[in-house]
């Protein structure tokens, strides 16, 4: 079974994945702000007991922070199984589907955060998955729900549907032509937020996330359709810019991709920043057929982008690695996994 980041879905030249996240709280416990660690532990245990027995979760792995070390938790965050917020919690637990496409986080900013990932541009499928889980959980637990405000959340910005839907986008051409800021302002008018996945807004392999800003007053379908419509336009813009650049400067474009491949294929030390940049250039080259892979097997480059994150590399080693050792391990990982070209 492939994980969402191991395959390429619809419009995969630009759209890496779609994700739907639902925020839910249950009656009987204060929200996270006012929940003590002790009560959080009781809550997590109660929820786990109720969910564990259900058929829907038979194949799920259960995790509890008290059984995990920092590296394991960080690696889960790098694979998007858990959120940045959850990572910083003292007490947390959850359930993860075997392929890691669906995860249920407990004691996040809200008691329950359900998230579903799909590869490519198929947010409806992601919603379907999350919604089914929501029905199952809502059937055995008592959600905080209000006729007027809908699903009640810790933060007023999540209230109503409690839903955030997002696409992860690869936008090297829009980035290279300096159009991201303008684009971000444009999508803002449609109630969407576009942001770099990099820390402190640093470039992160030209990977961006576009998410709905409003959660109250619109149906889930309206929110999802709006997101998909605007994302389709971004996909078109990115494609047009890529075509323009390649038709004007084909040799330069090809040169960049071959250089990236050369370093990825032969370097003995690769920093995270370099790795992300080079993989982004190589991904663009494959998408636009500037280079030809030796095999027909469709390899997801985003999978490599996740694999080269520090905690995931650390997980594969028996000993604690220094930064330099991680750079060496990163180059090895890339050599082992990068698709060869003709």
| Residue from 70, 98, 99, 146 in contact with other proteins (CB under 8 A) | 146
| Residue from 90, 149, 233, 259 in contact with other proteins (CB under 8 A) | 149
Q: Which stretch binds other proteins (CB under 8 A): 55-63, 140-148, 167-175, 270-278?
A: 140-148
Q: Taking CB under 8 A as the rule, does residue 262 contact other proteins?
A: no
Nearest to 215 by CA among 153, 142, 130: 153
User: Please, are residues 264 and 334 in contact by the beta-carbon 8 Å criterion?
Assistant: yes
Q: Taking CB under 8 A as the rule, does residue 150 contact other proteins?
A: yes
Helix (H, G, I), strand (E, B) or coil at 211: strand
| Residue from 41, 78, 220, 238 in contact with other proteins (CB under 8 A) | 220
Residues 6 or more apart whose CB falls under 8 angstroms from that of 151 comprise 22, 23, 24, 25, 143, 144, 145, 159, 160, 161, 162
Q: Taking CB under 8 A as the rule, does residue 200 contact other proteins?
A: no
How many binding residues for other proteins (CB under 8 A)?
A: 38
Q: Which stretch binds other proteins (CB under 8 A): 51-59, 156-164, 246-254, 329-337?
A: 156-164
Rounded to whole angstroms, how far apart are CA atoms 254 and 288? 10
Segment (H or E) for 243: helix 220-248
Rounded to whole angstroms, how far apart are CA atoms 313 and 336? 13
Sheet holding 15-24, edge to edge: 61-64, 93-96, 102-106, 112-119, 15-24, 163-170, 207-212, 192-196
Q: Taking CB under 8 A as the rule, does residue 140 contact other proteins?
A: no
Q: Which stretch binds other proteins (CB under 8 A): 8-16, 137-145, 246-254, 257-265?
A: 137-145
DSSP 152-185: --SSGGGTBT-EEEEEEEE-HHHHHTT-HHHHHH
Q: 220 or 238: whose CB is closer to other proteins?
A: 220
Site string for other proteins, 23-62 (x = CB under 8 A): --x-x--xx-xx----------------------------
Q: 70 or 146: whose CB is closer to other proteins?
A: 146
| Residue from 96, 141, 144, 253 in contact with other proteins (CB under 8 A) | 144
Angle subtended by helix axes 323-337 and 272-287, to nearest 10: 20
Binding site for other proteins (CB under 8 A): 25, 27, 30-31, 33-34, 131, 134, 138, 143-157, 159-161, 163, 191, 213-220, 223
């Amino acid at each position: 079974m492939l994980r969402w980041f191991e395959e390429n879905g619809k419009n995969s030249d630009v759209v890496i994945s779609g994700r739907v996240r639902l925020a839910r709280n249950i009656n009987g416990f204060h929200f996270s702000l006012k929940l003590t660690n002790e009560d959080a532990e009781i809550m997590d245990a109660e929820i786990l007991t109720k969910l564990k027995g259900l058929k829907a979760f038979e194949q799920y792995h259960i995790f509890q922070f008290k059984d995990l070390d920092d590296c394991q938790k960080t690696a889960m965050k790098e694979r998007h199984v858990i959120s940045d917020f959850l990572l910083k919690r003292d007490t947390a637990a959850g359930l993860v589907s075997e392929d890691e496409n669906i995860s249920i986080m407990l004691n996040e900013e809200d008691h329950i955060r359900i998230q579903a990932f799909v590869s490519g541009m198929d947010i409806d499928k992601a919603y379907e998955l999350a919604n089914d889980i929501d029905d199952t959980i809502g059937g055995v637990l008592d959600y905080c729900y209000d006729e007027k405000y809908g699903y009640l959340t810790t933060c007023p910005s999540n209230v109503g549907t409690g839903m955030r839907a997002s696409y992860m986008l690869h936008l090297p051409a829009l980035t290279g032509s300096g159009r991201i800021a303008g684009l971000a302002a444009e999508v803002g008018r449609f109630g969407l937020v576009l942001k770099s996945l990099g820390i402190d807004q640093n470039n992160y392999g030209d990977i961006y996330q576009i998410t709905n800003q409003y959660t109250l007053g619109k149906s889930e379908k309206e929110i999802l359709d709006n997101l998909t419509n605007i994302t389709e336009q971004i996909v078109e813009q990115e494609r047009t810019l890529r075509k323009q650049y390649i038709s004007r400067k084909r040799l330069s474009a090809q040169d960049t991709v071959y250089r990236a491949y050369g370093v990825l294929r032969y370097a003995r030390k690769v920093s995270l920043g370099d790795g992300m940049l080079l993989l982004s250039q190589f991904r663009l080259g494959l998408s636009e057929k500037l280079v030809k892979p030796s095999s027909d097997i469709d390899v997801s480059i985003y999978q490599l982008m996740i694999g080269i994150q520090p905690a995931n590399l650390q997980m594969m080693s028996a000993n604690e690695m220094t930064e330099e050792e991680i750079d060496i391990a990163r180059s090895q990982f890339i050599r082992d996994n990068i698709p060869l070209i003709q």
